[in-house]
A and B are shown apart, each in its own frame.
Chain A
Amino acid sequence: MFGQGLIKGLQITWGRLLDKKHTVKYPYEKIEMFPRFHGRFELDVEKCIACGLCANACPNKVIEMEKEKVDKKQFLTKYVMRIEYCLFCGLCVESCNKDALKFTNVLDMNQYRRSWVRLSLVDRPAPEAAEEAPKEETPAKTVKVEAAAGQAPVKEG
């Protein structure tokens, strides 16, 4: 019959009108990312032994790290990722022996300034060459691991 296609088209759009919507109110709601999503980096400072394999694995030389020797052990004092050059290949995460460096599913890393994009995961002074056990009261726990993206508050733009 002539005009069948026209009616079918109208039926389809009517169905869509009443259907469930496939988008969410983005800034207020977010869809769940997949578990292996390459998002913002997270460094577990407790596990990190400052071996530097991640910095070596990086093809873009994104990772800048500084370490000091405290009581025969390497102590990580600074760990900055220049995210503006990062291609999220995941080689650093793969190369980590201690599973200290991980991906999270946070995807909004945009900032107002280019300099704010830089992700500072660890920035702490080395403890005064502790007498015997630096483990007990290392300041490592309180280090701003999460909320230290550059100087900027982590807010989507």
Chain B
Amino acid sequence: MENIFIGIASSLRGFFSGLGVPDLYNDIIMLVVKLVSILVFILVNALWLVYMERRVCAFMQSRLGPIHVGPKGLLQSFADIGKLLGKEIILPKGIDLVVFLLMPVLIFVPPLLIYAVIPFGKDMVAVDMNIGVFYLLAVASLSTILFWAAGWSSNNKYSLIGGMRSVAQMVSYELPLILALLGVIMLTGTLNINQIVNAQNGIWFILTQPIAFLIYFIAGVAETNRTPFCLVEGESEIIAGPYTEYSGMGFAMFFLAEYANVMIISAMCTVMFLGGWLAPFGLDFIPSWLWFFLKMYVMIFIFMWVRWTYPRIRVDQLMGFGWKVLVPLSLANIFVTGVGMYIYRAIGW
């Protein structure tokens, strides 16, 4: 069980080299296979998360949620996608056509790029990069510009406001997010995600860096534009923010990308603070990729729980909270971590 995916990969590689494919092409084929499987993983999970979100939301509101399509409503998101695929793509007057049509496609690029460096299990990473965290943070902030471009190209005031809010919010919360991760990076002294996971063999970083975890979690909620930081698409104020003018599959792509981003933030939480694919309490009869998956889904559930509990906050509160609370707190966390490390080293621990 442990090596099922690695086994599949190596047997595929063996199959191709048996066919007489040169090593270089073999590497390229394997990379493509990995990336396609990641894409399938993202899409299947996003579809499942749409259903899960609706179910969790309904249960928290004492309702039942989708029950009609398929057993227990499991095929609901397939029905939704089918409906959205069949819809007309409406092009409003005065839009920037190329940008408008390009954005729903490009919105899936940052998540796909990020998943390349996330370790799904022991030795299960598509590209093992020694600056993984840095790469991840750099690529993750790219989606800001896509939301912004989508909002601006729509020729709609609500879209524009939504796009501007998205930039303001994401830039403000990128800072505490990165500063919170800095504590972990100081402890491990590496930017390689695999090594960060291995460093948590004895103790998870959620216990040594609880403040950083909290800051990361809050900033992560803001990064994914979810309640209570859902000002970007605040339905009661600006309809759907940057997605207002999108219809059919364009809207669905944004919708699925949101869940892909939620998965990334949860996966990062898992990797950075919850020990990644390491099994807790020596329960390593459960394969490592399943542990990663379980931890990721616990984080996703907490994201949903938070979403369906709190109301949306105001723009000034959002900015004030980000700059006056989270950034100083994360700086203080870095300072305390540094001092603590110095003291530990001084007493020779």
Contact = CB atoms under 8 A, between A and B. Distances in A.
Contacts of A16: 59-62
B41 to A, nearest CB: 27
A56 B324 CA distance: 74
Given A16-B59, A17-B56, A17-B59, A23 B306 contact: no
A139 B330 CA distance: 87
B102 interface: no
Nearest to A16: B60
B308 A13 contact: yes
A21 interface: yes
Contacts of A13: 60, 305, 308-309
Contact of B62 (A14, A23, A25): A23
A21 B64 contact: yes
Most interface-central of B56, B60, B310 (chain A CB within 10 A): B60
B109 interface: no
Contacts of B63: 21-23
Interface residues of B, number: 13
Contacts of A21: 59, 62-64
Contacts, number: 34
B65 to A, nearest CB: 9
A156 interface: no
Most interface-central of A9, A13, A14, A16 (chain B CB within 10 A): A13
From DSSP, what is the main secondary structure of chain B's interface residues?
loop
Contacts of A14: 305
Most interface-central of A12, A23, A24, A25 (chain B CB within 10 A): A23
B310 A9 contact: yes
Given A14-B305, A25-B67, A6 B310 contact: yes
Interface string A13-52: 1101101111111000000000000000000000000000
Interface in B55-77: 56, 59-64, 67
B62 A10 contact: no
A14 B62 CA distance: 11
A10 B304 CA distance: 11
A10 B305 contact: yes
Contacts of B60: 13, 16-17
A16 B59 CA distance: 7
Given A17-B56, A17-B59, A10 B309 contact: yes
A20 B63 CA distance: 9
Contacts of A24: 64
B300 to A, nearest CB: 15
B317 to A, nearest CB: 14
A24 to B, nearest CB: 8
Interface in B91-112: none
A13 B308 CA distance: 8
A20 B64 CA distance: 10
A20 to B, nearest CB: 8
B309 A9 contact: yes
30 contacts: A9-B309, A9-B310, A10-B305, A10-B306, A10-B309, A12-B309, A13-B60, A13-B305, A13-B308, A13-B309, A14-B305, A16-B59, A16-B60, A16-B61, A16-B62, A17-B56, A17-B60, A17-B305, A19-B62, A20-B62, A21-B59, A21-B62, A21-B63, A21-B64, A22-B62, A22-B63, A23-B62, A23-B63, A23-B64, A25-B67
Closest 5 CB pairs of A and B: A13-B309, A22-B62, A13-B60, A9-B309, A17-B59
Interface of A: 6, 9-10, 12-14, 16-17, 19-25
Given A10-B309, A21-B64, 12 more contacts: A6-B310, A9-B310, A13-B305, A16-B60, A16-B61, A17-B56, A17-B59, A17-B60, A21-B63, A23-B63, A23-B64, A25-B64
